[in-house]
Amino acid sequence: MQGLTFSSSKSLEKVTKIQQLQMQLRDRWLSVDEFDAEENDVLVIPSLSLDQRELLKVTGVHYYEERLLFAIIRLRNPRTRVIYITSQPIHPNVIDYYLQLLPGVPFPHARDRLILLSTYDSALKPLTQKS
């Protein structure tokens, strides 16, 4: 904390708390790297459990299930599979786009370990409540 002056002990407490949180984040990030080194199956169910009639008022809400596609970053580990469940199929070009973002991972190898499942159900209820 060189060069910083604090006008109160409250400011110092806040900075100390932030530093503690940063250390926790570092430790958690390291554990994610350990997780990535093992064989894993990652299940992604992007369900939105809000009033579905209200959600229809949101422009582009049907793209909500795509927002968790960042989870396919786990495919950088060659021993990980990602199972991604949606209400409606996601366009293959969107999937290909995300897979192309994986650094150093051959596209076909990552694609083989991505399992896409769809309920083909556009009913107004959360994905977790569909059969």
Residue 59 buriedness (CB in 10 A; 0-12 / 13-18 / 19+): exposed
Residues 86-97: tens digit of each pLDDT: 999 999 999 999
Rounded to a whole number of angstroms, the distance between the first and last alpha carbons of the chain is 55
- Report the chain's mean pLDDT, rounded to a whole number: 83
Residues 21-34: tens digit of each pLDDT: 888 877 766 665 56
Task: Judge whether residue 1 has pLDDT over 60.
Answer: no
pLDDT of 111: 95
pLDDT band, very low/low/confident/very high, at 130 (cuts 50, 70, 90): confident
Q: What share of the chain is helix, strand, coil (3-state, %, to 5)?
A: 50, 15, 35
| Full-model pTM | 0.68
pLDDT of 35: 58
Tokens 């290909």 appear where? 96
pLDDT of 2: 52
